[in-house]
């Protein structure tokens, strides 16, 4: 397994010709596509300008991807793969709240390492994109849901989690905190919203550590067996 | 104050000519715009098709709104006004958790009453829309933040809320739960995500009451003085 974007995950959405070109060129095309889609959103991204910025002809681009849709899906798919790989590093055996805190810090790091992925992900969740998003079948959500399932199972078995907790509802609520936490570091709108909601004054920065501690404390008090 | 969309809130983004036309026609144009923007997103919405669906000429439309941007902002502004009015009905004197539960049920009702508002709101939060969203100056967030500020102040004064709670961080986290709860009833992507995360089987529906109770219970255990 390689960390190179495009090394895997695009198997469904590109044409075979894309596999045959130089890996660096492949990665570069995907990087340019990611940057364009992230900055402008899917609908406002022009395929001609994208090809120009990647330094390739529009003919070449269409020989690699059948449509703008397919290129977008390829980018999203790489993103799901990348974030899914990060998530799979979390071991529920470390304990429920340690795992949950890892997830938050991974979300925080992902916002810095892959800011564009988060912006594209958010764009893909809008209603105008629903027909496109349906083709992706919520792969990342399935990975996350499975992690929570294992975390709650282990947490109840070890006595860390109250036995009466509804794991499905609790997983949904906890992951909602993670998603909005991640959004808050990924886009201008959500950054502003975090500043307004937390009451930060101008020039003051959010203290990541205190925010993570607040969210983990919420999880512990809400679902922990020994609050 | 009227409940009619367009009766207020568009003061900044339309031209004076728009005030002079028949109120029903005004409301109809805004309704069509809302439906189009909600279904397709801002970028993919064509102003010609929008005018055609509203049964007006493109010339008339541009005599009411200087640009597609301004029409979109007018629609968002009405949405903020509508949701802001709902939020302002909540009285923190009713108690912190009663107020928080009201907010959740209002969010739930808003998803059914104004499904398109939520879809447009989500679209406006994407990075591609950031320059446009900046013109709105997070009006709705300011209203919500002020409600939480008053709720925490009253809750600490009455002893309902632990005195050591960081109201800003807590408000941010609680509102994150509200926003994602509302999204889950507003668009296909977030509906699917809720099903996956809560582990619903096909044909099974989410129990709104149990979900609201779970979120309120989280708030109470996390920040309440008497858990």
DSSP B159-177: TSB-TT--HHHHHHHHHHH
pLDDT per residue as tens digits for the range B146-187? 999 999 999 999 999 999 999 999 999 999 999 999 999 988
A30 CA: distance to closest CA in chain B (Å): 18
CA distance A80 to chain B (A): 14
pLDDT (tens digit, 9 = 90+) per residue, A112-171?
998 898 899 888 888 888 888 777 767 788 899 999 999 999 999 999 999 999 999 999
Phi and psi for A11 in degrees, rounded to 5? Answer: -55, -25
Domains of chain B: 1-82 (1.10.10.60), 89-223 (1.10.357)
Q: What is the mean pLDDT of chain A?
A: 90
* Section B24-51 average pLDDT: 94
Which chain B residues in 36-95 lie under 8 Å from chain A, judged by CB atoms?
38-44
Q: Looking at the predicted structure, is the pLDDT value of residue A43 above 70?
A: yes
Q: Residue B172 is nearest to which of A148, A197, A221, comparing CB atoms?
A: A197
Per the CB < 8 Å rule, is B222 touching A227? no
- pLDDT tens, position by position, A74-95: 998 888 888 899 999 999 999 9
A53-67, A138-152, B98-112, B123-137: least confident range: B123-137
| Share above pLDDT 70 across residues of chain A, in percent, rounded to a whole number | 94
B169 touches chain A (CB under 8 A): yes
The beta-carbon neighbor of A127 closest among B39, B166, B173 is: B39
Sort out which chain A residues have CB atoms less than 8 A from B214's CB and list them. 166, 169-170, 173
Beta-carbon contacts of A134 under 8 Å, excluding residues fewer than 6 positions away, are: B188
Q: What are phi and psi of A224, to 5 degrees?
A: -75, 150
Which residues of A fall within a CB distance of 8 Å from B198? 168-169, 171-172
> Which parts of B57-187 fold into alpha helices (H)?
58-64, 68-88, 96-113, 115-124, 130-134, 139-158, 167-183
In terms of Cα–Cα distance, which of B23, B183, B128 is closest to B10? B23
The predicted model gives B140-144 an average pLDDT of 89
Closest-CA distance, B78 to chain A, in angstroms, reads 19
Average pLDDT rounded to a whole number, residues B115-138 = 84
As a whole number, mean pLDDT of residues B5-30 equals 79
Q: Indicate if the pLDDT at residue A3 is higher than 70.
A: no
Say if residue A54's pLDDT is above 80.
yes
Cβ contact, residue pair A127, B130, below 8 Å: no
ipTM: 0.89
**Residue B80, CB-side half-sphere exposure with 13 Å CA sphere:** 19
Chain A contact present for B142, CB below 8 A: yes
Query: Which residue among A44, A173, A215 sits closest to B215, beta carbon to beta carbon?
Result: A173
pLDDT of residue B179: 95
Q: Does B198 touch chain A (CB under 8 A)?
A: yes
The residue of chain A with its CA nearest to that of B40 is A128
- Gap between the Cα atoms of B154 and B91, Å rounded: 10
Q: Specify whether the CB–CB gap between B167 and B152 falls below 8 A.
A: yes
Query: What distance separates the 2 farthest-apart alpha carbons in chain B?
Result: 62
| Cα of B200 to nearest chain A Cα, Å | 8
Question: pLDDT tens, B88-115?
Answer: 999 999 999 999 999 999 999 999 998 8
Residue A212 has pLDDT above 70, yes or no: yes
Segment B187-219, tens digit of pLDDT: 889 999 999 999 998 889 999 999 999 999 999
A194's CB contacts (< 8 A; 6+ apart) are A184, A200, A206, B172
CB burial of residue B89 (10 Å; 0-12, 13-18, 19+): exposed
Percent of chain A exceeding pLDDT 90 equals 74
Best of A172, A177, A227 to disrupt the B interface by mutation (most B CBs within 10 Å)? A172
Q: Give A222→chain B minimum CA distance, Å.
A: 5
Which residue of chain A comes nearest to B207, CA vs CA?
A: A169
Q: Alpha-carbon distance A219 to A177, whole Å?
A: 10
Residue B15 reports pLDDT greater than 80: yes
Cβ-Cβ pairs closer than 8 A, A with B, add up to 182
- Confidence bin at A99 (pLDDT 50/70/90): very high
Distances (CA, A) of B44 to A23, B10, B169, B190: 33, 23, 36, 20
Task: Give the separation between CA A162 and CA A227, rounded to whole angstroms.
Answer: 10
Mean pLDDT, residues B48-64 taken together? 96
Which distant-in-sequence residues (6+ apart) come within 8 Å of B198 by Cβ?
A168, A169, A171, A172, B206, B211
Give the gap in angstroms from C-alpha B123 to the nearest C-alpha of chain A. 6
Q: What's the rounded Cα separation, in Å, for the pair A173 and B104? A: 13
CA distances from A7 to A76, A82, B145 (A): 14, 11, 44
Please report, in angstroms and rounded to a whole number, the separation of the first and last CA atoms in chain A: 41
| pLDDT interval class at B9 (50, 70, 90) | very low
C-alpha–C-alpha distance, residues B208 and A172, integer Å: 13
């Amino acid at each position: 397994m390689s960390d190179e974007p495009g090394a895997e995950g695009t198997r469904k959405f590109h044409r075979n010709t894309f596999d045959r070109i130089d890996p660096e060129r492949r990665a570069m095309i995907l990087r340019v596509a990611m940057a364009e889609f992230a900055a402008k959103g899917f609908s406002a991204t022009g395929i001609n300008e994208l090809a120009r910025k990647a330094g390739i002809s529009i003919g070449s681009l269409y020989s690699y991807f059948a449509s703008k849709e397919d290129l977008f899906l390829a980018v999203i798919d790489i993103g799901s793969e990348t974030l899914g790989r990060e998530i799979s590093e979390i071991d529920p055996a470390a304990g429920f709240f340690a795992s949950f805190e890892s997830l938050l810090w991974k979300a925080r790091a992902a916002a810095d390492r892959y800011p564009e992925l988060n912006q594209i992900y958010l764009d893909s969740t809008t209603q105008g994109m629903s027909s496109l998003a349906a083709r992706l079948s919520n792969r990342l959500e399935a990975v996350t849901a499975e992690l929570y399932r294992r975390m709650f199972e282990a947490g109840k078995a070890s006595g860390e989690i109250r036995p009466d907790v509804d794991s499905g509802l609790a997983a949904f609520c906890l992951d909602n905190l993670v998603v909005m936490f991640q959004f808050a570091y990924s886009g201008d709108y959500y950054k502003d919203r975090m500043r307004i909601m937390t009451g930060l004054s101008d020039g003051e920065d959010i203290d990541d550590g205190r925010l993570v501690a607040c969210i983990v404390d919420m999880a512990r008090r809400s679902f922990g067996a020994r609050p």
